Amino acid sequence: MPLYTLNINNNSFEVEVNKGTSLLWVLREHLGLTGTKYSCGIAQCGSCTIHIDQKPMRACILTVENFAMGQKILTIEGLSEKGEHPVQKAWIKTQAPQCGYCQSGQIMQAVALLKEKPKPSREEIKSYMNGILCRCGTYMRILEAIEIASEENSAIN
Protein backbone atom coordinates (compact mmCIF):
# COMPACT_ATOMS: atom_id res chain seq x y z
CA MET A 1 0.00 0.00 0.00
CA PRO A 2 1.27 3.52 -0.72
CA LEU A 3 2.35 5.81 2.11
CA TYR A 4 0.80 9.29 2.13
CA THR A 5 1.97 12.30 4.13
CA LEU A 6 -0.84 14.67 5.02
CA ASN A 7 -0.79 18.15 6.59
CA ILE A 8 -3.65 18.09 9.09
CA ASN A 9 -4.23 20.77 11.74
CA ASN A 10 -0.65 22.00 11.18
CA ASN A 11 0.82 18.58 11.91
CA SER A 12 2.30 16.06 9.55
CA PHE A 13 0.68 12.60 9.51
CA GLU A 14 1.70 9.50 7.59
CA VAL A 15 -0.85 6.91 6.57
CA GLU A 16 -0.48 3.72 4.62
CA VAL A 17 -3.76 3.12 2.81
CA ASN A 18 -5.01 2.07 -0.60
CA LYS A 19 -5.29 4.70 -3.30
CA GLY A 20 -8.93 5.77 -3.46
CA THR A 21 -9.49 5.61 0.30
CA SER A 22 -11.77 8.45 1.32
CA LEU A 23 -10.20 11.27 3.28
CA LEU A 24 -13.02 10.97 5.82
CA TRP A 25 -12.12 7.34 6.40
CA VAL A 26 -8.44 8.23 6.83
CA LEU A 27 -9.28 10.95 9.37
CA ARG A 28 -11.65 8.83 11.42
CA GLU A 29 -10.36 5.28 11.15
CA HIS A 30 -6.62 5.72 10.65
CA LEU A 31 -5.86 8.91 12.56
CA GLY A 32 -8.56 8.86 15.26
CA LEU A 33 -9.88 12.32 14.33
CA THR A 34 -13.48 11.32 14.91
CA GLY A 35 -14.86 14.86 15.29
CA THR A 36 -15.62 14.79 11.57
CA LYS A 37 -18.79 12.75 11.12
CA TYR A 38 -19.91 10.25 8.51
CA SER A 39 -23.53 10.43 7.54
CA CYS A 40 -24.74 10.34 3.93
CA GLY A 41 -21.40 9.55 2.27
CA ILE A 42 -22.45 11.28 -0.95
CA ALA A 43 -21.77 14.98 -0.28
CA GLN A 44 -25.41 15.75 0.47
CA CYS A 45 -25.57 16.47 4.21
CA GLY A 46 -22.40 18.35 5.19
CA SER A 47 -21.72 16.51 8.43
CA CYS A 48 -18.20 15.62 7.19
CA THR A 49 -17.24 19.22 6.34
CA ILE A 50 -13.56 20.08 6.78
CA HIS A 51 -11.40 22.83 5.29
CA ILE A 52 -8.91 22.31 2.50
CA ASP A 53 -6.70 25.38 2.14
CA GLN A 54 -9.37 27.39 4.00
CA LYS A 55 -12.29 26.27 1.80
CA PRO A 56 -15.07 24.06 3.19
CA MET A 57 -15.24 20.68 1.50
CA ARG A 58 -17.03 17.37 2.07
CA ALA A 59 -14.45 14.83 3.21
CA CYS A 60 -16.63 11.83 2.33
CA ILE A 61 -16.11 12.28 -1.39
CA LEU A 62 -12.42 13.26 -1.34
CA THR A 63 -9.76 10.62 -1.82
CA VAL A 64 -6.49 10.55 0.05
CA GLU A 65 -4.10 10.64 -2.89
CA ASN A 66 -5.26 14.12 -3.86
CA PHE A 67 -4.13 15.64 -0.57
CA ALA A 68 -0.55 14.45 -0.27
CA MET A 69 0.97 17.59 -1.73
CA GLY A 70 0.89 19.70 1.39
CA GLN A 71 -2.61 21.14 1.14
CA LYS A 72 -3.67 22.39 4.54
CA ILE A 73 -6.38 20.18 5.96
CA LEU A 74 -8.27 21.58 8.95
CA THR A 75 -10.69 19.49 11.01
CA ILE A 76 -12.84 20.46 13.98
CA GLU A 77 -10.02 19.25 16.28
CA GLY A 78 -7.74 21.89 14.77
CA LEU A 79 -9.95 24.85 15.67
CA SER A 80 -9.10 24.81 19.35
CA GLU A 81 -7.94 22.09 21.70
CA LYS A 82 -10.30 23.21 24.46
CA GLY A 83 -13.28 24.40 22.43
CA GLU A 84 -12.24 28.03 22.79
CA HIS A 85 -12.55 29.11 19.20
CA PRO A 86 -14.96 32.10 18.98
CA VAL A 87 -17.42 30.10 16.89
CA GLN A 88 -17.37 27.19 19.35
CA LYS A 89 -17.95 29.65 22.20
CA ALA A 90 -20.93 31.16 20.38
CA TRP A 91 -22.29 27.64 19.84
CA ILE A 92 -22.08 27.02 23.58
CA LYS A 93 -23.71 30.37 24.30
CA THR A 94 -26.78 29.54 22.19
CA GLN A 95 -26.74 25.86 23.18
CA ALA A 96 -27.01 25.13 19.46
CA PRO A 97 -26.61 21.33 19.42
CA GLN A 98 -29.37 18.87 20.09
CA CYS A 99 -28.11 15.36 19.29
CA GLY A 100 -24.90 16.99 18.07
CA TYR A 101 -24.26 14.75 15.09
CA CYS A 102 -24.28 17.47 12.44
CA GLN A 103 -22.66 20.14 14.54
CA SER A 104 -18.98 19.79 13.70
CA GLY A 105 -19.90 20.15 10.03
CA GLN A 106 -22.07 23.15 10.87
CA ILE A 107 -19.24 24.78 12.81
CA MET A 108 -16.66 24.16 10.09
CA GLN A 109 -18.97 25.67 7.48
CA ALA A 110 -19.65 28.67 9.75
CA VAL A 111 -15.93 29.25 10.38
CA ALA A 112 -15.29 29.21 6.62
CA LEU A 113 -18.06 31.77 6.14
CA LEU A 114 -16.71 34.13 8.81
CA LYS A 115 -13.16 33.87 7.45
CA GLU A 116 -14.46 34.78 4.02
CA LYS A 117 -16.94 37.40 5.23
CA PRO A 118 -16.57 38.52 8.88
CA LYS A 119 -19.86 40.44 8.96
CA PRO A 120 -22.38 38.51 6.87
CA SER A 121 -26.03 39.51 6.70
CA ARG A 122 -28.67 37.08 7.92
CA GLU A 123 -29.51 36.22 4.31
CA GLU A 124 -25.84 35.59 3.51
CA ILE A 125 -25.56 33.28 6.51
CA LYS A 126 -28.64 31.33 5.41
CA SER A 127 -27.34 31.02 1.89
CA TYR A 128 -23.82 29.88 2.93
CA MET A 129 -25.13 27.38 5.48
CA ASN A 130 -27.75 26.01 3.10
CA GLY A 131 -27.21 22.29 2.54
CA ILE A 132 -25.62 21.53 5.92
CA LEU A 133 -28.48 19.43 7.21
CA CYS A 134 -29.64 19.11 10.80
CA ARG A 135 -32.18 16.41 11.49
CA CYS A 136 -32.91 17.97 14.86
CA GLY A 137 -33.81 21.31 13.28
CA THR A 138 -31.40 23.49 15.25
CA TYR A 139 -31.12 25.99 12.41
CA MET A 140 -32.33 29.03 14.34
CA ARG A 141 -29.81 28.53 17.14
CA ILE A 142 -27.05 27.99 14.60
CA LEU A 143 -28.01 31.23 12.88
CA GLU A 144 -27.98 33.05 16.19
CA ALA A 145 -24.57 31.58 17.10
CA ILE A 146 -23.05 32.74 13.82
CA GLU A 147 -24.42 36.23 14.38
CA ILE A 148 -22.96 36.29 17.90
CA ALA A 149 -19.55 35.09 16.66
CA SER A 150 -19.66 37.71 13.92
CA GLU A 151 -20.57 40.52 16.31
CA GLU A 152 -18.10 39.61 19.03
CA ASN A 153 -15.03 38.91 16.93
CA SER A 154 -13.42 41.03 14.28
CA ALA A 155 -11.15 38.25 12.98
CA ILE A 156 -11.99 34.56 12.86
CA ASN A 157 -9.03 32.25 12.35
Residues in the chain: 157
Among 98, 116, 124, 153, binds ligand FES (CB under 6 A): 98
46 near ligand FES, rule: CB under 6 A: yes
Contacts of 121 (CB under 8 A, 6+ apart): none
The site for ligand FES, by CB under 6 A, has a size of 23
Binding ligand FES by CB under 6 A: which of 23, 138, 146, 149?
Answer: 138
Q: Is residue 41 at the binding interface for ligand FES, with CB under 6 A as the rule?
A: yes
Does 40 bind ligand FES (CB under 6 A)? Our answer is yes
Nearest to 139 by CA among 152, 148, 129: 129
**SS3 label, residue 90:** helix
Name residues contacting ligand FES, limited to 112-131 (CB under 6 A): none
- What is the nearest approach in angstroms of ligand FES to the Cβ of residue 119? 25
Pick one of 70, 83, 100, 118: the residue that binds ligand FES (CB under 6 A).
Answer: 100
Q: Name beta bridge partners: 50.
A: 57
In angstroms, the CA 64 to CA 85 distance is 27
Cβ at position 56, least distance to ligand FES in Å:
11
In Å, what is the CA distance from 25 to each residue of 38, 57, 60, 81?
9, 15, 8, 22
CA nearest 108: which of 39, 59, 44?
A: 59
CB of 81 to ligand FES, least distance (A): 23
Per CB under 6 A, residues contacting ligand FES are 38-41, 43-48, 58, 60, 97-103, 134-136, 138
